[in-house]
Structures are given as C-alpha cells and as structure tokens.
Structure 1
C-alpha cells in the first residue's frame, strides 16, 4: 500500500515537473478594421531553428485560440485567413503561458499590394517601397544607422559611407521624410543611433509629379527614409569624437540633436586632416532641401566655369585639411498645419596633391602615349542655406515653398608637365604649364508648390513655380610652353602662352508646371501636365596677353567670348495609369519644343536653334505573390546637344586637346528598356533580386578627332548611330539571426559599344565588365562576428582601329571581424584587396591591399565613452588609382590619398531620451 502511494506521488510530481517545462499559447484573431472576430483562421506553430511544424489549430467562433503543451524554446507563429495578409511573429516560450492578445489581420484589398511581415527579418513591401523594421536586425551596442543598413539584404556601405541598395546608388537620405542637413546624407547615417530607428524605407528617387504619373524618376538611384521611434523624438542625443597622432593627423567631430515635441534642433562641427569633413557624396545640382526640383529642358545651356562640387570625400584627391559647421531647425505646429525646416552649412577645404595620368590612344597607324604629372594646391570655401515652409490650408489644399542659396569661393594653383610619345617612345610634344585661378559663385534656387486634392478620390492638382539666379566671377593666369618635335624626336619650336583670364557670368531661370490627375474609373487615371521654362544668361570670357611691360592689356579674341543666350521651352505630357490588386501599368508620352537664341557679341552674329523633343514612356508592374514582384519599363528620351557642343568657349588650357563646336548637330533619341524581379521568403530569410537594362541611341553625339604629327588632338562633336549600353545586377541572400551563417551571392555586369572617328577612320569600341562576388557572415551577440566577401571580375575592351590586348582580370574582396577580448577590450579589423592584372598599355600593375584595425574599450558606468587606438592602412598601400576605357583610349589615374597613420581617439555618445540614458 505504501509502495503504491509512493508510486502515485511520483507520477503526480513527474506530471507537475513536466507541466513546468511546458506552456500554453493563446490569443484572439480579429479584423484590423472592424475588430470583428475571425473564426477558422489557421494558427501554425513552427520551430524557429528549422521552420518545421510543431503544432497548429483553428480559431473559434469568437476568434480565440489555444495551443497547449508547448515546450521551452523559440517559435514562429503564423496566422493565415483567406483574403487577409499573413501575420508572422517570433515568440519566446520560457515555461509560462504566453498571451498574444488580439492579433489584427489586414485585408489584402486594403493593403493594395502591401505585405505585412513581423519576424526576425521584418520586411514590408508596398508598390516600389521596401520597408525594414529596425528591431528585427541585430547590431552591436552603440551601432549607428550605417551599421544597421549593412545588415539589410542587398545593401552595401563602403568606407566613405556611400550606400548601394539593390545595385543602385543611394543619393538621398531623409529622416522622417525631411532632409537632415541638406545634401549631407551621411550626417544621418553615421550619427543617429540604430536604437532610435523604428523603420527604414527605400524607394526610387521621384518627385511628387512622377509619383502621380507612375513614370519617370531616377530609376538608377534610391532614396532612404529613416523613421524614428516616437519615444526617440523626445529629449536629446549627440556624439563627440576627438583623435590625433600628436604630429601630423587629427580628426574631431561634435554633433548635438534636441527634440521638443515636433521641434528639432541640430548643430555639428568638424575639423580633420583625414577627410573633407563634409559627408555628401556628390554635387546636388539643385541645392534644394528636397530633391523634388523639376527637371526642365533649359538646364545645361548656361556657360559656367569652376562650378563643380569640391566638398565630398567621394571625389577627394590629395591630402585634405578641412573645417565644417552646421545647424538645423525644424518644427510643425497647429496639428501639423504649419511646418518649417531650415539649415546652414559652412565648409572650408584645402588640399595638396601630386598626381599623374597615363593615356594610351589607339590609332590604325600606331599607338600614342601621353603622360601628365600635376602638382596642385587648392582652397575652397562655401556657405549654404536651405529652407522649407509648408502650409496646409485645409485637409485638401497645401502650399510648400523651398529655397536654397550658396556662396562659394575657391583659389587654386597647379603645375602640369606633360609629354606625348609614339610607340617607339620618341617625343612628339611637351607642355610645361602653370595655372592660377580664383572663382566666386552666388546661386539661389526657389520653388513654390501648390497641391490640391478633391473629394473625388484620386483627383489631384499640382502647380509648381521655379525661380533661380546664378552669378559667377572668375579670374586667373595661364603660363605655358608648348614644344613640338619631328618624327625623329628632334626639337622643332616652342609656342609660349602668357595670359590673364577674366570671366563673368549670370543666369536667370523661371519656370512653371501644372499636373492634373482625373480618375476615369476606380482603377484607371488620366494624368496630364504642361510646363514652361525660360533661361536668360550672359557669359563673358576675356583673355589678355602680356603687352611686354607685365601688364595684360592686349585682348586675344581667339580665346575670348561674349555671349547672350535666351532659351525657352514648352512641354506637355499625357499618361494613363492603372492600379489594380496585382497589376499596375502606366502608358504615356510627352512632347516639348525648345528654342535657343544665341547672340555672339564679339562676332556680331545671332543664331537661332529649334529642337523638338519626344518622350514616350511605359511601365508595367505585377505582384506575382505577396513577397515577389516583377516590373518592366520603357523610356524614350530626346538627347539634344548642349550649348558647349554647338558653340563652345574657346579654351587653350590644354594645348594638346583643342575642342571645336558643331552648329549642325542633330537631336538624338535614346531608347531604354529595363526590367526587375524581387522575392522574399520570411521563414528562411531568403531574398532574391535581379534587374537589367538595355539601351541604344539614334543620332547619338560622339567625337571626331584629328591627331596631327605632333600628337595634338583637335576634336568636334558629331552624330553617330550604333552606340548602345547594357547592365545586369543580381543578388541572392540566405539566412537570418544570430549564430547562423548568412550567405549572399551577387553578380553584376555592364558594357556597350561606342563609335567615334579618328583621322577620318571609323572606330568601334566594344567594352564589357563582369563581376562575381560571394559573402558570408556569422555573429555571436556581443562576443564576435566576422564576414568575408571575395570577388573576381573580368574587363574586356576591343577597338576596331587596331588589335591591342587590354583585357584584364581583377580579384580581391574584403574581410571584416570583431571580437571581445578579456578586459572588455574590443578588437576590429578590416582588410580590402583590389588586385588587377597588368595590361599592355602600361608597365605598372597597381595592386592595393588596405588593412585597418582598432582596439577600443568602453568607459563610464553607462558605457557611453570609448577610447580607441586606430591603425589605418597598416601595410601603407592606400594609393589613389582609377582605370578608364573610353572610345579609342585607355587611361590610368594615380593621385595622393591619406595613407598609414596611428591615432589615439576618444569618443563619447550621450542619449537623454526614453530609449537611452
């Protein structure tokens, strides 16, 4: 009896222990709109580690469900119901009952192609927008948005902060839909904490009007929008970095952001001898606080000298010494009826550089080699102001005014020593030249937009008014000695130039555009627009020779110009746009007429040009499944010659290359076809993406060159047929989560054909580039991670003028690692290798392997401080190098870059927000 009693007690204890190891999962499935219960919904429970099914059930009449006897572990809960989007969520069962509460499902018809996924790799796809949920991607403590972006499938971030998404360059970064310091996008990606981010959206760069038509836009560039968590918009956060080697190099940065309700204030400053301090990637031609300034056909007709962007790391050549500072203010009030956003930036950058350019020119009669050696110094400064004001009259009407102003000055000096040789290495010419320049530019762009919605769905009206001003004032000197040699390499004669150059220019642009959308059916819209643009400009360049008394008083009319130009255009477009549950398409065409009135005051000659432009466009998108999409697009665009090709400014800055305009150029027409496919599988974290494009141009504009016996090249633009281009980009990504191998395989290729004429012979150049890459990543949270990505590529270039073997392989890749050492010391290392096969054009073979590393330790109780020992370019191989193929030439550029240094750095981040400390 006692034994039987003990046996029953043992069974009871065993059941109790077992019950402690198991748990129950319950919840209720409802409609997200009416909150009505959904009965017979399928609730599946899958093991997270391998996605195998553990259990399943259906919801009752009241929408409730219960899954009993669940062992400890991580699971994926999937809820499905007909005509509703799937719901997926990761749950962690720890021996206690888990109540998921009300699970709201959204009808697919309501989503309009939207896919809602909540998982370890949360992704939402809505039309052309892909949205990533930040908390679903693990990053280490103290990570920034830039670190977060590196975790997204199809994203790459290079050492300069340049972002590539799905093979396309990200040219704009927004924070909650607003610019963050104008055109300095990495001010956001490198300084905002990943923990403050709710979602990250990526989409094609388009204006409001282009979104309305479903056509146009820059399909080759992406925009990233960082959406902050609501509780991250309260309080303040910032960062201070200070580093030095106590001799040559130093680097410092401070950033402060404060949120008070919807009011935001940000300030920053930098001082560096390692980079430009300003973090923008390329010139923002419209300077706008938003990139929605409408394109118009009159752009490109104002003569300008020295108006490029000199404040970005992407184009930096030489050794920098920089200062930057900026401030930003934004606010919305009265229930978002009013909104303002403004920023100011100051940049100061001085550089010194030693560079060389080696060029091989392919002729049917032989090869020419040109060598340029340049020493240069420059100082560039600018003040930039951006502003935006929004006013919502009511729920249907709103105004938006944007303005952008810039004042830029630059001073520069360069000394160039160049010579040209034939393939027997006999001299044909030699040029010794010195140039000094001082430039000043003032520019202002303004845009006023009116948006009117109507009670009838999808009926919309956009009206835009643009006004822009530019003033240029430049002066400089040119001193050169150009020497000629005969076929045997014997000296013949010198040509000496000693000139002072003055340039003044002004431009005024005004334009308007009206776009109207009218719904023909619930799914079909007609969109029409009309625009008018006018530009009036004046350009005066005067070259003066030395009168013999060191006074430059003799006007050289050959290299002087005085032009007045009036350009006006009118254009219209009509588009039919269809939006269905799975299918979207748009079909339309535009027509524009352009007139140029050119007044050459030196020659007392007036010329009028007329161009008619035709722009048919079509787009088709199909949602194959909830997580996969296919699209195909066609765009036809007219390519009209610019002012410099029709009537160029005569320029003797490079006496080995003389450019002559062609007033008889015809308008070209470009055809571009593109297609893409994307898919994502939530359970395995697998994604696949591929896009490709092909285009050709009728009456394309190329060059016809005459190269004389001394190696001097005179070239002029001409129309040709047969030019084309193509490109392909794809990637496959597999894996998700911690302690899992994550793989990515990518392939990209591009190429095309260029036709030109050299010494009256037709030259056909075919080029192609193929690149295959593979990457693997593994991470153990806060302990270590590593990633490596080898790649191999092959370049081909073939000219019909002469068979020259300039094909070559390039290999390389990157390896990154992080490990937590004893004493809470963190070690990180990065190696990037670029190995190129030597080509026949040049003797050298510039292989570059850069290895960077640092040791760091966090300090303070909240770990907000960090000491870092930085080792940059440990192998001392960081050299500037680029290789180019164009028409019948091959060129290699070499220039200085910041190479090996060792730095002691202190970093302090503070976060006085609900999500921080």
Structure 2
C-alpha cells in the first residue's frame, strides 16, 4: 500500500510538471537609456497578470541590460519596467502556443516620470529585500489558499521550514520568537501567532537576527542574538474584526474546538484565543510546565546529556493529551510616547502515557540491561502573564519594562516495572516503583532598562535591572519494592517527602559608550548579580502501626541554602566602517559562592565558601561583501552557575536503581564558543545559502560521576566538575528556486557535528565521542490555483562510542529516515481535498525497536456559502493505523530506547466559520478607496504591488 501511494504520488507530480512545462514560454529583451544608448543594469522587470495586476514573475537586468523571464505560463500579461529617475515602461503582451518565445529586442527608457493614464503603481514591492540583519519577504508575492494562516505562508518562503508540530526553522536556525508589528504576540510564542493569524492580512514577513535591546541601543554587539520573525500588518487591515471558530467531533469521542477573534484599530490590537481538544493538538509552546511535568519525581535523567532522536509521524508525539486553553493579548500606543503590550494565557493539559524502554549501561567489557514498562498520568494547569511597556520619555531618554508571572499547579501518578540483567543473561533485580505527587510553582519577575543618549553622537548610558523569583512546593509519595539476586535481598520503602524551595536573583548592569575618534567607540560595563537558592526537604517513612507517614527520616532530610555574588566588569571597542564593523573586549568575572547545609543526621551546619575569577574575552566581526552577502565571526566566553538541585547533598531515591546525590563543592563552569556565519540571499531569483560553523570548549563542565554496582545493577550519580570536553558542528542551508514564481522552492539542510563529552564511571574517566550527520530536503510547489504540494525527507546517521568499554561494547551506529508529503487540490463547486503522509524508519537499534511508522491523513472540505465564510470538513487521521512513537537517548555511558503509546486512527467532522470585516481605507486627499486600473480591472491579491 505504501509503495503504491508513493508511485502514484511521483506519477502525479510528473504528469503535472510535464503538462506545465509544455504550456510555458519565454520573454527576453535588452534595456538601454534612450538618450545615451548605454545599457541599464539592475533595472526591475515585473510581469503582471493582466486580469488582476498580481505579480507573475520578476527579475533584474544584468550588467549589459539584458533580461529574461523563463517558464512563463501561457496567458495575458503586462510588462512593467522601472528604474529610478526614468519613466516606467508599461507594455501589454501575450504568451501562447504561437508566441512561446517573445524577443522584445531593445527597449529604451526616458528620464523623468510621467503619470500613467490607466495604471497607477505608487509603490513597488519586490518579493525579497535583504537588509543588514534582515531578510524581508513581501507576503502578497507568495500565494496561499483561501483562509490560510501565517503558518501556511511561512512554508512557502525560501529558506523557511515548518515541521508538523509547528516549530519554525529559518536559514538553518530555530525561530524562538514571533512579533506582530514589532510587538510581542502572547509573549512572542511562535505557535500562537502563526497558527491563529490569517495570512491575507500580512504585508511583510521579516526574518531577523535580533540583537538584545541593550545592543540595539548602544550599537555594540554583545553576542546575544535570537532568530526572530516579525510580521507586519497591511495598512488596510489595521481596522477591523477578524478571526475563525471551529468545532468538530469524531469517533472514539474525539473532539476539537477553537476560537480566534481579533479586533484591530490603528495601533490597538486585541486578540482572544480559546479552545480544547483531546487529539494531541496544543497549538502553543510548552513553557514553565515542562520543568514541573512530574511532581512525583522518579527521573533518573538529572544531569544527562547527549543525543536524542525521535521516530514519530506527528499528532503530538508519545502519549495522549487532553488540553483546554484560553488567552487574551492586548497592545496599544499610549499617547505619543508609550506602547504597551500584555498577554494572559491559561492552559490545562492532561497527558496519559504508556511506555516500554530498554536501557543499556556499559561497564568495561560488559553491560547491564534494564527493561522497563509502565505508565504515567500528569495534569498541569498553568497561568501566565507577560507584559512590555516602552516609554520614550523624550528624544534622549527611554524606558522598557517587562514584567512576568507564571503559576503552575501539577499532579502526577506513575508506575514503573523493571527487570535488570547483565550481558551473560543473569537476572540482577526486578521490582516496581510507584510515584504520586502534587505541587505548585510560582515564578515572577521583571526586566527594567533605562537608556539615555547625550548630545554628543555615540555617547550613551544605560542601566538594566532584572529580578526573578520562583517558589516551589511539592509533596511526593514514593513506594518501591525490589528484589536483588546477588546476594538475595529485598528492598522496600514507602515514603512521603515535602520539598519547599525558593530561588531568587537580582541583577543590575550599567553600560556607558563614548565615541573615541571617527568610526570608533568605547563601551564600559559593570554588573552585579546576587542570587539565593533555598531548598528544604523533609522525608517521612510510613508507620504501619498508625497507618500514616510520621516517622521522620533524617538521612533523607536537610535544609540547604546557596548564596552567590557575581561581579562582572568589561571594556569593549567597536569600529564601524562602510562595509565592515568589528568589536573586541574582555570581561572580568568574579564569583563568590557560599553554601550552608544543615544535616539532620549529623545535627550540624556545613559551610562551604568558594571564590573564582575568570577572564571572558569577546570579539565580533561583520563584513558585507554586498547588500545581499554577509560574513560574521563571533567569539565569547561565559560562566554557568550550578543549580540548587546539583548542589543539594540530599539523595533523591525516587528511582531505587538510580540514586541521585548533590555536590555542594561544585564550581561554576566556563565555556568558550566560536562561530562563523556566511549568508547570501539573491532577491532576483530567491536563491539563498547560509553556512554556519561553530565550536565550543571550556573548563569545569558539570557532568555526572556514576558508580555502578555490577551485582545489584544499582547506580549512584553525583555531579562533578571535569575538563577535556569539546564540540564542533557545521550547518549549510540552501534554498533553490524551482522557477521565477515566488513560493516554488527546494530547501536543503546539511548538518554534521562531532563532540567529546567527559564523565566518570566507577572512578574512571570516560570519554564519549559522538558523530551526527543529517541531510534533509523539502520541496514546495504549486500549479496555478489548482494544486499545491510540499514534499520532503531526511536521513540522520549517528555514531557513538566510549573509552571505558572494550571491543564493540558501547559502540552504536544507527540511522533514522523520514519521508513526508502534503498535497492539496482545489476542485470545482468550492470543494477542496488534501492528504499528508509521513513515513519514518529507524535501523541499527536494539532488537524490538527497529520499527517503521506510517502516518497517512486525509481530508475533504467544502465552502457552503458564496462568501466562503463557512466550511464543512471531514478528516481521517492515521488511515493505515500504523503510527508509532519511538525515541533513542544517548548520554554518558548508556543508551535508552523508548516506545510510547500514541493517538491512533479516528475520523472527525468539523464546521468552521470565518469572520473578516475591515474598515474601508482612508482616502489620500479625502478620496482614497478609488482604484484605478486599465483593462482587466481590479481583483485578486496585491501580487507585490500596492494599488489605489
């Protein structure tokens, strides 16, 4: 069945492609100055569809004034040619079977502008514009389906990919924030913006290497950048009410409902979201509840590092999730000087998971296997508020304040059954662990940035203050019963522990910049940070006589306080030239750490004080070969403080086979990172390439020291500081245009990484070497208004070995393969059909985990009104019932293969209503709203030209 589907898909694409090729022509010519007869390079050539003046193709003339538009579909067009300071040329023409190659010969242009009698083009908007740190796409040049959302538009942009779960990658880097008109939308959560805002209101999509607010103000790069997308709203869509509401019900009591309502009025934006479903569709990014997913603990992965590869066809991954959510986003300009953006979002997520796993732990020339099966049920309710106030006090002073608050209530239940044996087949232990927990986490804080410019250009001062505090209260019940066979013994415990912890930090940083001489600037900065972590853990054993937890366990209880003072002072020099800029400097970091631990077992305090001093140089170099080609080289050093969980000396025995200890003697780690970026974007043909090479190394990295008892199979881990690690990786992202039509792209990504990690196993240094190679390709194609498709695939190879093992023990080689296709057809009578297929395979893993997953979904929908504001849809999910979820984790001296339960086949019928009401645009000179066009009249989308 799978092969038949793939063959039909290839044949269908081939037939459509061949048909399209047979009905295409070519237009070419040369552009010269009528007065001087000289060639005119870099003039803009735009081919407009005659019926609605939308952009069909665009190009630029070469150095000799020649241009060519290839693969032009048969039809009637207008050729529009523009060059600054010259009269635009507007010429009708037709490409058909009798005129497949139009040689226009020499076209001359005259100086000075004229007014067109039938077409008034006030502003030309090319599909792609490249700026210093921004690639800007004109949304109208990339066609999307009726009532599409922003996510559908992003999938058509060169160099941008969106995976099944909605995660965005731009030029090979993960997009961490999405802004609307430069302002956060629900705190900048990418999925809340891209899955809810309609595509037809978008004017531009800007992919930005966004610098910090501090660096944007001073102009001196601090090395803090994040890949951000800013979507700007069309001027005629800034006043209106729009949104959509969907309700659906399916087999097995599956349901899905969501509402998106937006009220925009000039600078004011109000957005309301709400919904619920039990089909694993979150539609937002998990934030605070990730670290609080299991109040009962029982991890066994604290401090683990390594590679995680997944096999799954979509639908939210492993487990079955029921989710309710609602949120409100508000943004407005207050007077002429201030802008406020705030959002509130609530979600309640309940996840049921059943899993089987196999863990291999390597010890010299042998290994230990742990086979686990079990299940868990977790319920997390999270409220979060985020705000941003920007106040321009005057031309010299500004203020930015960003408060935040998050409250999470969680409860969980989990049960794990385990059996362990060695490589000889001898059973070491077997048993069951049950964890139940409830808890609450409150996080709040804020950032304040005060900025001042002086009359002397380049002189500035800024003060940033950051405060954060978290309060966590948990109560956990841990019950365990294990039988050990060498020697024979039984270990049982039934305990309740309460954990109360608070973490707070306040940081202040003062920065001053001063111009030195022409194009050179000096930056001085000083910052101080104080953080305090308190962790109180009280453990009680179950009293069988009284039937309650009242026996205090002093060996598993203590009070721990960690206080850190951090001083950071630095100097940087920045030089700015026409084509390049660079900065270099050094920071001096002094850290004073004070740990106080009260042990109930020893009835005394233990105090540990540490002082560390680090030099952290940094350097940045940027060179612009041209407006479209840039090179960037960066180096920076940074320190990382140990967490309170790593410092706390009280054992965590929630997993009796994986006892976790703390280490109050831990030192801060220091990391050096070097990166090189090379980015080329050709706005003429949408071709782009991004190359990134980076490496890191450092000292005092915090890793696990593992002590393994080969007889019982029990492990005890303790975090320690080590040296000798490094990593290097390289990534090349390409976007290849398939034609001159925007939106038809082939995006490829090549990635390779090699890293060496260090840990200590049974007192011996163990180096783990890992190699990862990934190649992926994604194709976006559409044919007129009838058909659009996305086809892609990837291959991932991973190899890992460690020095503590001998022979082939500890050596792993495995592959992950992925093939996917998403195809949609527009049919007569307002019918639409679509299907998507994802096939994932893994090979080279543990027997029983070399599995293949095929996810095939399909849908048919129809607009039931002439205005296309109401739609009925029938969906089929996992038609073949062959979807599974498998993942592999490689870390330290072990490998874990896991298979989770998944949401499988169901069918659903849904109804969607679209609301689109916008105010008429304000006329220029009191008369706007009048559209002037020649033959063909108005209609369709803007196609890259703003029309009046």
TMscore range, shorter length: 0.7 to 0.9
What's the counterpart of residue 391 of structure 1? 391
Match for residue 540 of structure 2 among 535, 539, 544: 544
In 2, are the aligned partners of 1:144 and 1:190 still within 8 Å (CA)? Answer: yes
Shift of 1:399: 2.1
The 3-state SS of whatever aligns with 1:877 is coil
**How do residues 113-262 of structure 1 correspond to structure 2 at under 5 angstroms?**
121-126=127-132, 128-182=133-187, 184-211=189-216, 212=218, 214-219=220-225, 221-245=226-250, 247-262=252-267
Q: Within 2, Cα distance between the matches of 1:401 and 1:764?
A: 46
Q: How does 1:352-371 map to 2 (within 5 A)?
A: 352-371=352-371
Match of 2:766 in 1: 763
1:861 partnered with 2:894: no
Partner of 2:714: 712
Name which of 869, 874, 887 aligns with 2:879: 874
Residues 590 and 716 of structure 1: CA distance in aligned 2, closer, same or farther (over 3 Å): same
Worse-superposed segment, 354-363 or 46-55: 46-55
Q: Is the 8 A contact 1:27 1:102 kept in 2?
A: no
1:835 aligns with 841
Shift of the 52–463 alpha-carbon distance from structure 1 to 2, 3 Å rule, reads: closer
Answering whether residue 803 of structure 2 is matched by residue 797 of structure 1, we say no
The number of residues matched between the two structures is 827
Single out whichever of 735-744 and 880-889 deviates more from structure 2. 735-744
- Map 1:54-69 onto structure 2 (within 5 A): none
Q: Is the 8 A contact 1:43 1:56 kept in 2?
A: no
Q: CA deviation at 1:693?
A: 0.9
Q: Could you tell which deviates more after superposition, 685-694 or 383-392? A: 383-392
Do the aligned residues in 1 keep the contact of 2:584 with 2:619 (CA within 8 Å)? yes
In structure 2, stretches of 5+ residues that fail to align are 1-26, 48-56, 67-74, 95-106, 115-122, 293-302, 304-313, 922-939, 941-948
**2:699, 2:859 → 1: CA distance?**
54
**Equivalent residues of 1:756, 1:764 under 8 A apart:** yes
The whole-number CA distance in structure 2 between the counterparts of 1:170 and 1:582 is 27
Q: 1:909 aligns with which of 906, 911, 914?
A: 914
Superposed, which structure 2 residues align to 1:590-601 within 5 Å?
A: 590-601=587-598
| 1:76-104 per-position Cα deviation (integer Å, ceiling 9, x unaligned) | 746489xxxxx999977459x99999889
Following superposition, the deviation at residue 519 of structure 1 comes to 1.8
Are the aligned partners of 1:421 and 1:427 in contact in 2 as well (CA < 8 Å)?
yes
Distance in 1 between residues matched to 2:470 and 2:492, nearest whole Å: 35
Q: In structure 2, the residue corresponding to 1:696 is in which secondary structure? A: strand
Residue of structure 2 equivalent to 1:825: 831
Render the CA deviation track for 1:736-775: whole Å, top value 9, x for unaligned. 4449963333311222112223223333221111122333
After TM superposition, give the deviation of residue 460 of structure 1 in Å: 2.2
Give 1:576 deviation, angstroms: 1.2
Q: How much has 1:184 moved relative to structure 2?
A: 3.3
Q: After superposition, what is the alpha-carbon deviation per residue over 1:136-155, rounded to whole angstroms, capped at 9, x for unaligned?
A: 22222222111111112221
Q: Distance in 1 between matches of 2:663 and 2:30?
A: 81
Secondary structure of 1:161's counterpart equals coil
SS of equivalent residue, structure 2 residue 177:
strand
Structure 2 residue aligned with 1:633: 634
Residue pair 2:130, 2:627 contacting (<8 A) in 1 also = no
For the structure 1 residues 431 and 595, does the alpha-carbon distance in structure 2 shift closer, same or farther, using more than 3 Å as the test?
farther
Alignment partner of 1:780 is 2:777: no
Question: Distance between the aligned counterparts of 1:582 and 1:206, measured in 2?
Answer: 19
Report SS of the residue matched to 1:558.
helix
Q: Aligned partners of 1:637 and 1:91: how far apart in 2?
A: 58
Q: Is the 8 A contact 1:282 1:314 kept in 2?
A: no
Report the counterpart of residue 505 of structure 1 in structure 2: 501
User: What's the CA shift for 1:696?
Assistant: 1.9
Q: 1:844 to 1:437 in 2, by over 3 A?
A: same
- The alpha carbon displacement at 1:611 in A equals 2.5
Deviates more, 1:152-161 or 1:728-737: 728-737
Deviations 1:356-377 (A, max 9, x none): 2211112213111112222111
Tell me, yes or no, if the aligned pair for 1:89 and 1:118 is still in contact at 8 Å. no
- Matched-pair contact (CA < 8 Å) for 1:26–1:101: no
Per-residue CA deviations over 1:304-351 (Å, capped at 9, x if unaligned) read xxxxxxxxx99864211111111122211322x122222222211112
Query: Structure 1 617/348 Cα, relative in aligned 2: closer, same or farther at 3 Å?
Result: same
Alignment match, 1:644: 645
Q: Structure 1's 599 and 737: CA in aligned 2 closer, same or farther, altered over 3 A?
A: same
The correspondence for 1:567, drawn from 564, 569, 579, is 564
- Kept after mapping to 2: 8 A contact 1:317/1:897: yes
Q: Are 2:517 and 1:514 aligned?
A: no
Q: What is the TM-score of this pair, normalised by structure 1?
A: 0.83
Secondary structure of the structure 2 residue equivalent to 1:376: strand
Write out per-residue CA displacement over residues 380-409 of structure 1, whole angstroms, 9 at most, x where no aligned residue: 112222233333221221222221112211
Change (3 A) 1:737 1:899: farther
List per-residue Cα deviations over 1:870-916 (Å, max 9, x = no partner). Answer: 11122223322211212221111222222221111112221112589
**What is the match of residue 657 of structure 1?**
658
Mark the CA change 1:222 to 1:22 in structure 2 (over 3 Å): closer, same or farther. closer
CA RMSD in angstroms, aligned pairs only: 3.6
Aligned 8 A contact 1:852 1:872 in 2: yes
Residue pair 2:670, 2:698 contacting (<8 A) in 1 also: yes
Q: Is the 8 A contact 2:595 2:664 kept in 1?
A: no
Pick from 816, 822, 825: which aligns with 2:822?
816
Alpha-carbon distance in 2 for matches of 1:815, 1:222: 27
From the superposition, tell whether residues 42 and 821 of structure 1 become closer, same or farther in structure 2 (CA, over 3 Å): closer
* Residue in structure 1 matched with residue 274 of structure 2 by the alignment: 269
Quote the offset at 1:582 in angstroms.
Answer: 0.8
User: Who is 1:319 aligned against?
Assistant: 320
Cα contact 1:121–1:133 (8 A) shared by 2: yes
User: Corresponding residue for 1:61?
Assistant: none
Contact 2:31-2:40 within 8 A present in 1 as well: no
Structure 1 residue 544, shift from structure 2 partner = 0.4
In 1: Cα distance, 2:466 partner to 2:688 partner: 42
| Deviation of the 1:510 alpha carbon | 2.4
Partner SS for 1:860: coil
* Preserved contact between residue 236 and residue 918 of structure 2 (Cα < 8 Å): yes
Instruction: Answer with 662-671 or 556-565: which moved more.
Output: 662-671
* Mapping 1:469-484, distance limit 5 Å: 469-484=469-484
Q: Aligned partners of 2:754 and 2:30: how far apart in 1?
A: 59
Higher mean C-alpha deviation, range 641-650 or range 413-422 = 641-650
5+ long unaligned stretches in structure 1: 1-20, 30-38, 59-70, 82-86, 105-116, 288-302, 304-312
Matches of 1:27 and 1:267 in 2, distance apart? Answer: 55
TM-score with structure 2 length normalisation?
0.81
Partner of 2:432: 432
Q: Is the contact between residue 501 and residue 543 of structure 1 (CA under 8 Å) also seen in structure 2?
A: yes
CA distance in 1, matches of 2:272, 2:480: 46
Give yes or no for the alignment of 1:372 onto 2:372: yes
